[in-house]
Structure 1
Amino acid sequence: MADAVVTEPYPALAPAQLAARHGLRVAGARPGLVEYVRRLWDYRHFIVAFANARNIATFSSAKLGQLWHVLTPLTNAGVYFLIFGVILGTNKGIENFVGFLCAGIFIFGYTQQVVMAGTKAITDNMNLIRALQFPRASLPIAATITQLQQMLFAIAVLLGIVLVTGEPITLKWLTLIPLLLLQTLFNVGMAMLFARLGSKIMDLKQIVPFLLRTWLYASGVFFSLGKAIADAPHTVKVLLQLNPMVPFIELTREALLQDSGVPPESVTEMWLVAAGWAVVLGVGGFIYFWRGEKEYGRG
């Protein structure tokens, strides 16, 4: 009779050791930064499709549909012109106030809408987050792409406005392309920053409109910022000039208007400030959002 084979009992292992032996990972664990970027790239088609769907759904129930992408910025411009140009008279000393005002409204409005959409990017998609495994940064990025698509409509309207108000077509118009790219990078960072904050602070979406309104009034949208702060203390001037929206707005006006009020010697400095803010917020916002990846969907 053959001898029975004696086997050693399976050694008792801690759960972490057992998981490591069989290559198991914690569900929802945050991947490394490089791996996270790679996964985002793999999901690029999903991000674009999700953004397109949200864009189409925005005015799907309205009779005029996608025409509201043009009517909305025009209506905002008309209301602000009536209040600030006609009633409050902030148009004094500004040759083409209509073009000046519309440039400020449209450029600020792009960032404003991204921040508002980013704040709700996580909380409004909890069912999707809990049902599917994908990089959560896809949501604020998709929100930014949705607003970028709408901004392209607004830019077309803006170009038509400056032409109608007597501004010529110049090569400076081409600078709108890199400027819009920089602002989009800045907006992606803002969307991710507010997406993580919005997922942790449930009342943030109630507070954000007030913060944006204050930011709007401090960005020289309705008046010439240079003239307004001419006699202000040096500290106030520095703080207002470091406002990240100022270079985006002022450089847009400088590209479109013959008399934008922007000193030629400050144009290069504004480009550097715009690029600096785009890189700092774009990279910083992304890293801040990535560090909270495992938190999303646990509320």
Structure 2
Amino acid sequence: MSQPESAVADAQAGGRGGQEPLAKLAARYGLRRAIARPRFPVYVRQLWERRHFILTYATSRNVSKYSSSALGQLWQVLTPLLNAAIYYVMFGLVLGGKGHIHNYSAFLLTGMFVFTYTQRSVTAGAKSISGNLSLIRALHFPRASLPLAYIIQELQQLAISMSVLLVIVLITHEPIALSWLLVPVVLVLQTLFNVGAGLVMARLGASMRDLNQLLPFITRTWLYASGVFFSIQERVVGTAHAPQWVADVMYYANPAASYIEAMRDILITSGGGHNPPDSVWISCVFWAVFALCFGFWYFWRAEERYGRG
């Protein structure tokens, strides 16, 4: 009789009046629950072993997302462009948001594309577990594979969006500068933050059924507070005459504003722009490392509960 069969026989005997508890019986035979949460290093290794599945799943979702529309993949570029056009008319022209901002078109589009990447990653992460319950209940795999696949999907879409953004920046008479080499650095830091934030939202979305209904309002408020349409420094300190620390909090306590500011400093140089200051880099690195570490730990802690109920 094999070891598992012996354990089953002993368990049945225990159920008929045996004295050994099931937990001790399982420990004696070296058995453990199939869905038991592995140690964190083991969990990370399991994710790495499934990297091909994660990438393939993300790519297939990206291909199928717009397959039923006539313009197909162009919508991932048209959507932020149309939004930017609307915001340009409303905030830039009607409400006078342009102010003294140099190259407001590039300023607005950079903010829109960078913020949209984080917004979509957070929203996708929140739906990654709750929207795949049948897959989770049918197969055993690290559940973090799903939010990671969703964020990789958004990263693939960003690659096209950034190409369009660079072309638009050139059209608005911004010169190509050595600082453009820092664009991938900012995107890597932003992606690390998005992964951590997406994992946090995935766990919250799995347990809070109304979160997906609240997210549009949360992300819209986040959009308005991130300086996408206006310069935080000019509007808060110059126009509203608020103390400098208020603008600093809006810059550095808001990761989206930090990544937007860094990308604008890199791309928009003709108006006396410069490489991002050290404080912006520190903020970008801090949010990337903190979100990634906390997000993985927070998601891993609830590994055994996903798909239940």
Greater length-normalized contact order (CA 8 Å, ≥ 6 residues apart) = 1
Structure 1: which 5+ runs fail to align? 1-8
Taking structure 2 as the reference length, the TM-score comes to 0.90
How many Å apart are 1:21 and its aligned residue? 2.3
Q: Is the 8 A contact 2:266 2:274 kept in 1?
A: no
2:281 corresponds to 1:271: yes
Q: Provide the aligned length of Structure 1 versus Structure 2.
A: 290
2:296 is matched with 286
TM-score normalized with structure 1 length:
0.93
Instruction: Structure 2 unaligned segments of length 5 or more: list them.
Output: 1-12
Q: CA deviation at 1:262?
A: 6.3
Structure 1 runs of 4+ aligned residues shifted over 6 Å read 260-264
SS in 2 for 1:31: coil
**Range with bigger deviation, 116-125 or 234-243:** 234-243
Aligned equivalents of 1:239, 1:217: Cα separation in 2: 15
Is 1:200 the counterpart of 2:207 in the alignment? Answer: yes
1:35 — aligned with what?
42
Q: Secondary structure at the match of 1:120?
A: helix
Shift of the alpha carbon at 1:235?
5.0
Deviation at 1:234, TM superposition (A): 5.0
Q: Percent identity?
A: 50
Q: CA deviation at 1:181?
A: 0.3
CA contact (8 A) 2:174 2:270 kept: no
The 1-side partners of 2:24 and 2:232 are apart by: 62
Partners of 2:169 and 2:83 lie apart in 1 by 16
1:72-111 → structure 2 map (5 Å cutoff) = 72-111=79-118
Separation in 2, partners of 1:270, 1:260:
19
C-alpha separation in 2, matches of 1:262 and 1:143: 34
Contact 2:203/2:302, CA 8 A, preserved across alignment: yes
Offset of residue 106 of structure 1: 0.3
Structure 2 match to 1:221: 228
Give 2:160's aligned amino acid: F
Q: Deviations over 1:108-133 (max 9, x none)?
A: 00000001101111000000000000
Matched, 1:256 2:267: yes
Contact 2:266 2:273 in 1 (8 A): no
Q: Which residue of 2 aligns with 1:49?
A: 56
* Contact 1:254–1:260 (8 Å) recurs in 2: no
When residues 235 and 250 of structure 1 are mapped into structure 2, their CA distance, relative to the original with a 3 A threshold, is closer
Task: Tell me which of 158, 169, 192 is aligned to 1:162.
Answer: 169
- Please give the alpha-carbon distance, in whole angstroms, between the structure 1 residues aligned to 2:285 and 2:235: 25
Report the aligned-residue RMSD.
1.8
